[in-house]
Amino acid sequence: MLKKIDIPPVWLAGFVALAWMQARWRDAGLSLGGTWADFAGGILLGGGLILILLAASEFRRHKTTIIPHNTPSRLIQSGVFSRSRNPIYLADVLILAGLIFRWDAVLSLPLIPVFLWILEKRFILPEETLMRQAFKAEYARYERKVRRWI
Amino acid 32: pLDDT: 83
Rg of the Cα trace of the chain?
Answer: 17
> How many residues are recorded in the chain?
150
Of the candidates 92, 78, 77, which has an alpha carbon nearest to the alpha carbon of residue 124? 92
pTM given for the model: 0.94
**pLDDT tens-place string over residues 121-143:** 999 999 999 999 999 999 999 99
The domain locations on the chain are 8-23+30-145
